[in-house]
Chains A and B, each alone.
Chain A
Amino acid sequence: MSNKSRLHLPRVPARPGETPDFSYVQLSPAGAVPRPEVNARARDMMPLSVELVRVLDDNGGAVGPWHPHLDAADLQVGLRHMLLTRIFDDRMQRMQRGGKISFYIRSLGEEAVSVAQGMALRPSDMLFPGYRNQGLQIVRGMSLVDLMSQLLSNTKDMCKGRQLPVMYHSRANNLFSISGNLATQFPQAVGWAMAAAIKGEDNLAATWIGEGSSAEADFHHALLFASVYQAPVILNVVNNQWAISTFQGYAGGEQRSFAARGPGYGMAGIRVDGNDFLAVYAVTQWAAERARTGGGPTLIELVTYRGAAHSTSDDPARYRAKDDAEHWPLGDPILRLKAHLIKTGEWSEARHQALTAELEALVASSWKEAVAFGTMTEGPRLDADLMFEDVFKEMPQHLQRQQALMRQERG
């Protein structure tokens, strides 16, 4: 049967042992893509969804109509957040390998997505992150000790031991609870934005999924409702090329960009260089202003590369070329912003080294503080009674009985 098959299967450019090939990634030169007015009609800016918005050029310069002209101080904060995200990730990965935490997900190579987008929004905007958006947690001022305590499921864990590592939340910081299920937050963010519109408030919602998750029906529900109600929401597809072993072609990226789903539903769609801090910031700022001024939703595709494994349970050497990341045409987001700051005289190698050392020390001291609240194997532990709380607001009788049985069982 297979020799007669006419079924098309998306091409995967480089498997292990093959030469990395990113010729499929459609690039635009920095500065080349026009910037429409924020209230432009979606149908009049279709090219934005297939071209690639870029500001940083290959020499560290910032060019073109999307240049956000941020103060050097803001860029330095952005660099700091990205660097902290990476150092935090590295350290937590090692702690998982050492058996201190059960599971971890790194955002290596995608730091600009969360950090630039988080900085371009207001603290009162509601974020519905995915599980590879730790930069949002950092931008929103979550303490490292709190993040680590969640990873450790310890006595300071905001989730009271109920969630897998990295599934953070913070009501105070407008960071919604992360779900381990894929794409579920996408239409929820639209609902939040609809409520903001109903209440007449100008806060917006922003949400993130991977391109792989855009295959889920929830993605399409989100786009449909956002478009129908012109909800003030920013829908972000982080196209990091890989969903565990599923190449982006299997999510529908082979025939059309993910951003192009936006115009398909009648909303603005923008494809942006996800490793270009300035471009990501500018595009997000544009979409936020559009949403706040009644222009409705924007779908942003952030083109980036998953530099690490999907999670600590994954081994990408089994399904993609080993040196794939080194050939990624859009480079490293931290190095690119650093080069830009150095070129403009606002940064130096020495300052970068000093910052790196400072952040490494901060992560190390935070870890020490966090483990004092317990780890999975040592120190204080959460009371197992907590397992039965928050299933409902009031604990029903059958759970009260089970709680008593569990106490008996444990002696």
Chain B
Amino acid sequence: MASMNMIQALNSAMDIMLGKDPSVVLMGEDVGYFGGVFRATEGLQRKYGEHRVIDTPIAEGGIVATAIGMSINGLRPVAEIQFADYIYPGFDQIVSELARIRYRSAGDFFAPVTIRTPCGGGIRGGQTHSQSPEGIFTHVSGIKVVMPSNPFDAKGLLITCIEDDDPVVFFEPKRLYNGPFDGDPNKPAVPWSAHAKGQVDDGYYKVPLGKADIVRAGAAVTIITYGTMVHVAAAAAAAMNVDAEIIDLRSLVPLDVDTICTSVRKTGRCVVAHEATRFSGFGAEILSIIQEECFWNLEAPIVRVTGWDTPYPHAFEWEYFPGQARVRAALKTVLEPA
């Protein structure tokens, strides 16, 4: 075991997979010599060569499309899109191509591409470095969608994704790269070394897709969340002294419906929290599933905690971000006796 932040854990996952499987290649803008703008691929080109850790032109559509082509020819590309906000030039290749190659060729071709991309706000990145577009990709059949909330899961999930024969968009909440973040920007930053999930196995291990993590067991209310909001929700529940069961989904597609429903049947109350915008967000899907599966177990309407339905505003980052106050208000609402 070693103490790692999320960047180091992701780097370790890619290092191990490059070493283990000669078909794995990394590609993206600034990922090679420079080691990535967030340093996720630091040292890997030096170790594995320019032909396996490949700098690319600034063309997300080209990156995704050539990754597809490489995967069809037997490679297992891990493509970095520098910010999730910049993924859209690659959107057509992801939605119309990557997602459907297995389906349209009746399984004769498949495209094991992993697209890594930093997402989320809280770094004063304004509207072009802060978005959480995961919900858009969950709406596309044929793409797996993953978002870890800590270094241990990040490494194990990324290894699983690289080995997966289906395409994955792997979202990395960049505010969590260096430490867990509870939503309070005025508190001193806490490093991952002080967190249990910052202790990461040096070697190869996998965290399965479609298996949520019960971060905290509780009886009063279920909080279903993922990414940065796992830490915000936990802090808000702790501050209110609420016996919350906190579920970190880790993978949105495939989704661990059983863990969600088992918990909601037990608590009868539920808050769904994500940083992404609200309207047609992934939270709406969770609410529908719970309504379909657990309606008679509910003691109160489910409440969503989300970013507002505006672009991410530079100057109002903390008014926009769904911080602890928004989670506490939601908990208060769902915990009110009927």
Give the B-binding residues of A (Cβ under 8 A). 1-2, 5, 7, 9, 12, 15, 102-103, 153, 157, 159-165, 167, 179-182, 212-213, 215-218, 243-246, 250-252, 313-314, 318-319, 376, 381-382, 384, 386-388, 391, 398-399, 402, 405-406, 408-410
Say if the beta carbon of B313 comes within 8 Å of chain A: yes
B-side contacts of A215, CB under 8 Å:
57-59, 62
Contact between B30 and A246, CB atoms less than 8 A apart: yes
CB atoms of B313 and A7 under 8 A apart: no
Say whether, besides A388-B308, A406-B308, A398 and B279 are in contact (CB < 8 Å).
yes
Chain A positions within 8 Å of B61 at CB level: 216-217
Residues of B within 8 A of A405 (CB): 329
Complex interface: chain B residues within 8 A of A157 (CB):
315
Which chain B residue shows the least CB distance to A164? B126
- The answer to whether A163 and B314 touch (CB under 8 A), given A2-B48, A2-B52, A181-B85, is yes
B37 close to chain A: CB less than 8 A? yes
Specify the chain B residue showing the minimal Cβ separation from A391: B310
A181 to B124 CA separation, bound complex (whole angstroms): 16
Nearest chain B residue, comparing its CB with the CB of A184: B89
**Distance (Å) between the CB of B69 and the closest chain A CB?**
13
Cα separation A213 to B82 with both chains bound (whole Å): 14
Asked whether A384 lies within 8 Å of B59 as measured between CB atoms, the reply is: no
B310 contacts A388, C-beta separation under 8 Å: yes
Q: Distance in Å from the Cβ of B55 to the closest Cβ of chain A?
A: 6
What are the residues of chain A within 8 A of B33 when measuring CB–CB? 12, 15, 245, 319
| Whole-angstrom distance between the Cβ of B97 and the nearest chain A Cβ | 14
Residues of chain B contacted by A399 (CB below 8 angstroms): 308-310
Bound-complex Cα distance A181 to B55 (A): 20
**Distance from A105 Cβ to chain B, minimum over Cβ atoms (Å):** 13
Please list the residues of chain B having a beta carbon within 8 angstroms of any beta carbon in chain A: 22-23, 29-30, 33-35, 37, 48-52, 54-62, 85-86, 88-89, 124-129, 278-279, 308-311, 313-316, 319-320, 325-326, 329
Q: Which of A165, A212, A387 contacts B58 (CB 8 A)?
A: A212
Across-interface contacts of B85 in A (CB, < 8 A)? 180-181
Question: Is there an interface contact between B30 and A162, defined as CB atoms closer than 8 Å?
Answer: no
Q: How far is the CB of B156 from chain A (nearest CB, A)?
A: 26
Q: Do most interface residues of chain A lie in helix, strand or loop, or is the interface mixed?
A: loop
Shortest Cβ gap from A314 to chain B (Å)? 8
**Closest chain B residue to A155 by CB distance?**
B315
Smallest CB gap from A216: residue in B: B59
Closest approach, in angstroms, between the C-beta of A73 and any C-beta of chain B? 40
Chain B's nearest CB lies how many Å from the CB of A47? 26
The answer to whether B315 and A244 touch across the interface, beta carbons within 8 angstroms, is no
Given A164-B126, A388-B308, the answer on whether A250 and B319 have CB atoms closer than 8 Å is: no
A384 touches B329 (CB 8 A): no
Report the minimal beta-carbon distance from B235 to chain A, rounded to whole angstroms.
16
**B314 & A387 in contact (Cβ 8 Å cutoff):** no
Asked if A217 contacts B315 (CB within 8 A), the reply is: no
- Compute how far the CA of A83 lies from the CA of B171 in the bound complex, rounded to whole angstroms: 43
Across-interface contacts of A102 in B (CB, < 8 A):
124, 314
Cα A297 to Cα B50 in complex, Å, equals 38
| B128→A244 contact, CB < 8 A | no
B35 partner residues in chain A, CB cutoff 8 A: 318
Contact call A387/B50, Cβ cutoff below 8 A: no
Q: Report which residue of A216, A314, A405 has the largest number of chain B beta carbons within 10 angstroms of its beta carbon.
A: A216
Complex contact A162–B313 (CB within 8 A)? yes
* Cross-interface CB contact of B278 among A153, A164, A217, A402, cutoff 8 Å: A402
Q: List 27 A-B pairs, Cβ < 8 Å.
A: A1-B51, A1-B52, A5-B49, A102-B124, A102-B314, A159-B314, A161-B314, A163-B127, A163-B314, A164-B128, A164-B129, A179-B128, A181-B88, A215-B58, A216-B60, A244-B30, A244-B37, A318-B35, A386-B316, A387-B313, A387-B319, A387-B320, A388-B308, A391-B311, A398-B309, A402-B309, A409-B325
Instruction: Please give the distance in Å from A219's CB to the nearest CB on chain B.
Output: 9
Q: Which 9 A-B pairs have the closest CB atoms?
A: A161-B315, A180-B128, A215-B57, A164-B126, A245-B34, A153-B315, A5-B51, A2-B49, A215-B59
